[in-house]
Amino acid sequence: MIKEIQLRVNLIEEKQADILLFKASKHLGVKKEDITAIKVLRKSIDARKKLIIFNYKVAVYLNENPSKKPDYTFDYKDVSSAKEIHIIGFGPAGMYAALRCLELGFKPIVLERGKNVQERRRDLKAINQEHFVNSDSNYCFGEGGAGTYSDGKLYTRSLKRGDVRKIFENLVFHGASEQILVDAHPHIGTNKLPKVVQNIRETILNFGGEIHFESRVTDFSIKNNKIQAITLKDGREMAVNSVILATGHSARDIYELLHKKDIALKAKSFAMGVRVEHPQQIIDQIQYHCSTERDELLPAASYSLVQQVNNRGVYSFCMCPGGFIVPAATANGEIVVNGMSPSKRNNKFANSGIVVEINVDKDIPKYEQFGVLKGLEYQKNLERLAFTAGGRTQAAPAQRLVDFVDGKTSSVLNETSYQPGLTSAPLHSLFPKLIGSRLKKGFAAFGRKMHGFYTNEANIIGVESRTSSPVNIPRKENLEHPEIEGLFPCGEGGGYAGGIISAAMDGERCAEAASELL
C-alpha cells in the first residue's frame, strides 16, 4: 500500500535522523517497522514566520518497496536515414525539439550560430577580461543557449503547455541531480549545466542527428509562400522542408531578416530595468529573521517582489541567491547584465533583475517609425547609453540603491560580483522617466515590504534589458507561421516561452507539429 501525505517539519526537527519516518508513522497511525520506504515527492521552505518550516509531500510505502522501474523512459530511434527537420538554434527549445524528433523517428539537423560549451568558455573569458564581445559566441549564443551559463533555474508556470515532469526527468536522464524532481524551486546551477547540455548533444549525435556549430543562418529562400532553403554565413545553402526557428530572444538579426523579407511580425510588450545586488547575508537576515549567519540547513535566501507603480508592474526577475552578475551583451557597443548562480549558491552576493513593464503600444511613441521593431530599437538605445555611461567598455554603469532613489551620483560603489567592473554613473538621469521614476517608487515600496532591502549596501547595475523578446513571430493553431508554410516559430525567440522549461516544452510541440508536414 502507498499513501501520499503532507508533513511539516521545523528547523530543529529537521536535524533529527529519521524525522520523516517518525512523523509519517504518527500521521498514519502505523508502526515504524511497517513503513518500508518513504519517497520525497516535493520539498519547500516556509520562512514567513520566525519558526521556519520544511513542507514535505511524501509517498509512504507500507509493507512494500518502491518500483525500480523509472517513471519515464525515452525511446530514441536511429534516425540516420530518416526524413529531416531543420532546427535553427540549440538552446532549450532547439535541444528538446531535436530530442523529440528522435522519439518521433525524424532526423534533426541543428544549426547553431555559436560554439560548443567547451569552446564557448574562451569567448566568455574574453568578455569578462578583455571587454570583447563575439557576436556569435557569448552568454546568450552557443550550445545550450542563454541557459547554459545563466543559472539553470527551472521554475515554470506553464503547466498546461506540455509535460513538465517529462522535461525534468529528461534532464536527470542527461545528468542533472535528482533533487530537481523534489525541490519546489528547482535549480541545476551554472557549473553543472554545461555537462548536461553536452550529454544531450551526444544523445542527438549517437542516434543519427546532426549538430552544426558556428553555422549562423543569414537568409531564407521562400517560393510560393513556402520555405525552400536556408543560407549560412559561410555561403552554404541547405534545402529544407520543415524549419523550427528557435533562435532565442536576443537574435536580433533574425527579426531584422524576417522584417526585411516582409514576413509578418508583431511588436510585443516586454520589461527593462536594472540588476540589484545585495550581500547575501542581508537577504538571509531579512528572509530568515536571523541576526547572524543562516543555519547550514537553509539554502541562500531568495525573494520575489512586485508592485504596481503608475499602472505598470515593477517586479523582481530571475532572482539569483548566492550568485553573480554577468555581461550578457551580444555585440560590442552595448551593455546588458544578467544573473546566475552555481549549484551550491554559495557566492557572497544575491542579485535580481528589478524591471518595469513596458506597453509597446502606449509607452514608446517616439519609436513608432520602427514599426514592429520599435521595442527592439528601444532596447538597443538604452543598451548603447549604458555602454557610454560605463566608459565604453564592458564595465557597467552603477549606483548605490538609496543614492539612485535620492537622485545622487554615488561617490563610491560597493564590492560586486560583476567581473568586468563597475563605473559610478547617474543611472537616475540615464533612464527615461518611463523606467526611472517607476524604479524609484518600486525600490521604496520593496523596502517597506522587506525591511533592510532598501540600503546603500546594495548596488544597482544597468541595464537588465533582455527579460523577454520585444517581438512576436506569429503562428497558427498548428504552430506554423500564418504566411510561410514549413516555418515554425518556437520558444523565447518567437515569444512563446519565458524560461528553460517552457521553451523546452514548446520545442517538443513544434517538433510534433513540424513532423506532421513530412
Class of CATH domain 2-62: alpha beta
Q: CB–CB of 342/437 below 8 Å?
A: no
Q: Backbone phi, then psi, for 188, in 5-degree steps? A: -90, -50
Average pLDDT of the chain is 95
User: Tens of pLDDT along 142-187?
Assistant: 999 987 876 656 765 555 567 899 999 999 999 999 999 999 888 8
What is the C-alpha to C-alpha distance for residues 318 and 151, in angstroms, rounded to an integer?
9
Q: Report the alpha-carbon distance of residue 218 to residue 223 in Å, rounded.
A: 17
Question: Cell match 534589458: residue?
Answer: 465
The predicted pLDDT at position 126 comes to 97
User: What pLDDT shows up at residue 476?
Assistant: 98
Least confident of 150-164, 359-373, 410-424: 150-164
Taking only the tens place, the pLDDT of each residue in 187-235 is: 888 888 999 999 999 999 999 999 999 999 999 999 999 999 999 999 9
**Rounded CA separation 496/412 (Å):** 42
C-alpha angle 377-274-158 in degrees, rounded to nearest 5:
80
Give the span between the Cα atoms of 244 and 232, in whole angstroms: 15
Cα 510 from chain centroid (whole Å): 19
Mean pLDDT within 243-251:
97
Task: List, edge to edge, every strand of the sheet that includes 35-46.
Answer: 2-10, 53-62, 35-46
What pLDDT was estimated at residue 152? 57
The verdict on whether omega for the bond into residue 463 sits within 30 degrees of 0, i.e. cis, is yes
> Do 162 and 508 contact (CB within 8 A), yes or no?
yes
Tell me the residue type at 39.
K
> Can you tell me the distance from the alpha carbon of 371 to that of 358, in angstroms, rounded to the nearest whole number?
16
Residue percentage of the chain with pLDDT more than 70: 98
Identify the pLDDT of residue 159. Answer: 54
Give me the mean pLDDT over the 371-375 stretch: 98
Distance CA 177, CA 179 (A): 5
The sign of the CA dihedral 438, 140, 334, 260 is: negative
Q: Residue 222's CB: how many other CB atoms inside 10 A?
A: 18
**Contacts by 255-264 with C-beta closer than 8 Å and gap 24+?**
255/373, 255/376, 255/471, 255/473, 256/373, 257/218, 257/219, 257/220, 258/473, 259/371, 259/372, 259/373, 261/220, 261/222, 263/222, 263/481, 263/483, 263/484, 264/473, 264/474, 264/481, 264/482, 264/483
pLDDT tens figures, 492-513: 999 999 889 999 999 999 999 9
- Please give the CATH number for the structural domain made up of 84-265+473-515: 3.50.50.60
pLDDT at 515 over 90: yes
Pairing of strands 2-10, 53-62: antiparallel
Average pLDDT, integer, range 4-10: 98
The mean pLDDT value for 458-478 works out to 97
- Backbone angles phi and psi of 509, in degrees to 5: -65, -40
Tens of pLDDT, residue by residue over 13-58, are 999 999 999 999 999 999 999 999 999 999 999 998 989 999 999 9
DSSP state, residue 474: -
d(CA 314, CA 446): 10
DSSP lists the bridge partners of residue 485 as 226
Q: Where in the chain is the domain with CATH 3.50.50.60?
A: 84-265+473-515
Please compute the mean of the pLDDT values over residues 339-353 and round it to a whole number: 94
Would you state the pLDDT for residue 71?
A: 86
| pLDDT band at 452; cut points 50, 70, 90 | very high
Between strands 459-464 and 396-400, the pairing is antiparallel
pLDDT surpassing 60 at residue 106: yes
d(CA 359, CA 172): 38
Q: What percentage of the chain has pLDDT greater than the value 90?
A: 91
Q: Which residue ranges does the chain devote to CATH 3.30.70.2700?
A: 2-62
- d(CA 248, CA 258) in angstroms, rounded, equals 14
Q: Would you state the pLDDT for residue 292?
A: 86
